[in-house]
Chains A and B, each alone.
Chain A
């Protein structure tokens, strides 16, 4: 049961078209999410994590956003090909989302209970009374005290942590198969963050949903995820079991990320950094997008874009370093000098 695939994303490409040109925000993302599994997607700001998550439910504002290519298969059915009406039956029902900004993601003039209840009425055909009761129950489930009273309140009467719990309650009300959590704890302080993560894990155990957890926080990845996809410049550069990625990162970018974490038992004057900056999404280099910043870069890295290759049994990496071509290229460089 644990191995059943719920969501499969193949070659997803979402671009933004503006006067400045075409920004390849999401540029060929592949991943698989299994039932009850948590897939972390990590990467720095602007690498396309959020755009990936919004693309799955076709929530990218268009224009300027444009779906270019790919498939999003939910239990084998392609969301990309669905009509808006069909897709609406999936949004908030089979696939739910939690957003990064709890302060602004709730409607300021509608009581929070109603904001949860409306999805229940829509997707589960509950009556007003039933939906309200279930909504209060959900608020209780995410650990907000006196839920009957809170349900009637509007978002401004709730703290940030409570609002994010409301978002979680809203997302989970219809017991979705997939939950997309886009940096759900970034805006919250650390103690609240731990509580929210605990609630999510707990509910995942109860419902058995797959979670796509988008974050830039490697600590949260360690805490939450089974699988990790590391994103860089609109692509996944490494896909691993979460436990492996910290011990043995493959991609030089991942190595840089892990290396830049402060270490608890070492005396460090300065933290490691990754030199250089992310290339502009309007103008990606021809070869590997990380080549410019990579300490292992050779001719082939600059000339040809690497593909996501299988490494061992359960790892994938987008890097020439793990190919024979790279060895050849390196050898040539050594010979030249």
Chain B
């Protein structure tokens, strides 16, 4: 187990190198010159040229990349092109907000999804099952920005139960977390249902019944543990799209998180900011995947991690 974790941590290095390279290349290819954008409209050619030299943008691409990487290794993600503040400082302010949002969203995804999936699976083809699955289908189909606006309209504007936007109190977390977690909850619900239904048909469930165990023991002790294995995979994958989703939800709810920071940085061609943001987001994703893989082992000892 320990060896496995060490191995996986080492694997992070090439992943991060790859991520930075791809982001770097994409930022080079997108139209728009950061020096021009930065200098503002009507700036003279000389000013733009001077800016280019100051920012090191005139150097060949590979030199730029290498110097970037060597800085990253030393913990320096560079300075924002916009305000010349260290990118890392900005990220350290933004990241906790996004992590908090992601945490509560994944909580909703897992808890809501599992409960709904179990309700469905216990009485398949009943009205409760059909009801839950219709809602789940809606959850998958609704785009999160639309759901966010809808929730905002109903709960903040009409009912006035919850704040519209911002990130100041616990109440502020509720709507964005639901918006972000709903799609995942729907997927987890469907996955749990099908996985449970498959497990319930297995021979060992018949054995458990033949033993005289009560239905709830059969479901929670014998079936759920087996059914969870594919669900964990889905939750892990879901976390990736959830990180992507923060971009939209943070914009809808005006939350100053990492996602919104990256979007703003892309808009202004603030390359160091984009690179830093994406780098940190991928680090988070890699760690979550590591966590998921380790959890497999806890739920299913047949998986030999080494």
Q: A109-B225, A109-B226, A156-B302 are in contact. Are A104 and B211 (CB under 8 A)?
A: no
Q: Is there contact, CB below 8 Å, between B225 and A170?
A: no
Q: Is there contact, CB below 8 Å, between A106 and B212?
A: no
Residues of A within 8 A of B225 (CB): 109-110
Q: A59-B206, A110-B221, A110-B225 are in contact. Are A88 and B300 (CB under 8 A)?
A: no
B210 adjacent to chain A (CB < 8 Å): yes
Q: For residue B208, which residue of chain A has the nearest CB?
A: A107
Residues of A within 8 A of B214 (CB): 88
Q: Is there contact, CB below 8 Å, between A92 and B211?
A: yes
10 residue pairs A–B, Cβ–Cβ below 8 Å: A61-B201, A88-B212, A107-B222, A107-B226, A110-B222, A110-B225, A118-B211, A122-B212, A154-B302, A156-B302
A204 to chain B, nearest CB (A): 19
Q: Chain B contact residues: over half helix, strand or loop, or mixed?
A: helix
Residues of B within 8 A of A89 (CB): 212
Q: 5 other contacts beyond A91-B209, A105-B207, with CB at 8 A cut-off?
A: A59-B209, A104-B203, A108-B302, A119-B212, A123-B212
A57 adjacent to chain B (CB < 8 Å): yes
Q: For residue A103, which residue of chain B has the nearest CB?
A: B203
B contact residues vs A (CB 8 Å cutoff): 201-204, 206-214, 217, 221-222, 225-226, 299-302
Which of A61, A97, A108 is B226 in contact with, Cβ under 8 Å? A108
List residues of A (103-144) whose CB comes within 8 Å of B's CBs.
Answer: 104-110, 118-119, 122-123
A101 adjacent to chain B (CB < 8 Å): yes
Q: Is there contact, CB below 8 Å, between B211 and A119?
A: yes
Residues of A within 8 A of B217 (CB): 118
Q: For residue B209, which residue of chain A has the nearest CB?
A: A59
Q: A89-B212, A92-B210 are in contact. Are A104 and B202 (CB under 8 A)?
A: yes
Which of A93, A104, A154 is B212 in contact with, Cβ under 8 Å? A93
Q: A59-B206, A104-B202, A109-B299 are in contact. Are A170 and B211 (CB under 8 A)?
A: yes
Q: Is there contact, CB below 8 Å, between A99 and B203?
A: yes
Q: For residue A58, which residue of chain B has the nearest CB?
A: B209
Q: For residue A87, which residue of chain B has the nearest CB?
A: B212
Residues of B within 8 A of A167 (CB): 207
Q: For residue B299, which residue of chain A has the nearest CB?
A: A109
Q: Which 3 A-B pairs have the closest CB atoms?
A: A91-B212, A92-B211, A92-B212
A315 adjacent to chain B (CB < 8 Å): no
Residues of B within 8 A of A123 (CB): 212
Residues of A within 8 A of B208 (CB): 107
Q: Is there contact, CB below 8 Å, between B203 and A101?
A: yes
Residues of B within 8 A of A170 (CB): 207, 211
A96 adjacent to chain B (CB < 8 Å): yes
A90 adjacent to chain B (CB < 8 Å): yes
Q: For residue B200, which residue of chain A has the nearest CB?
A: A61
Task: Report A153-165 CB contacts with B as 1/0, cut-off 8 Å.
Answer: 0101000000000
A295 to chain B, nearest CB (A): 39
B83 to chain A, nearest CB (A): 54
List residues of A (255-308) whose CB comes within 8 Å of B's CBs.
Answer: none
Residues of A within 8 A of B221 (CB): 110, 118
Q: Is there contact, CB below 8 Å, between A88 and B213?
A: yes
Residues of B within 8 A of A101 (CB): 203
Q: For residue A88, which residue of chain B has the nearest CB?
A: B212
Residues of A within 8 A of B211 (CB): 91-92, 118-119, 122, 170
Distance of A235 Cα from B206 Cα, bound (Å): 24
Residues of A within 8 A of B302 (CB): 108, 154, 156
Residues of A within 8 A of B203 (CB): 99, 101, 104-105
List residues of A (76-92) whose CB comes within 8 Å of B's CBs.
Answer: 88-92
Q: Is there contact, CB below 8 Å, between B209 and A104?
A: no
B223 to chain A, nearest CB (A): 9
Distance of A99 Cα from B209 Cα, bound (Å): 12
Distance of A106 Cα from B214 Cα, bound (Å): 17
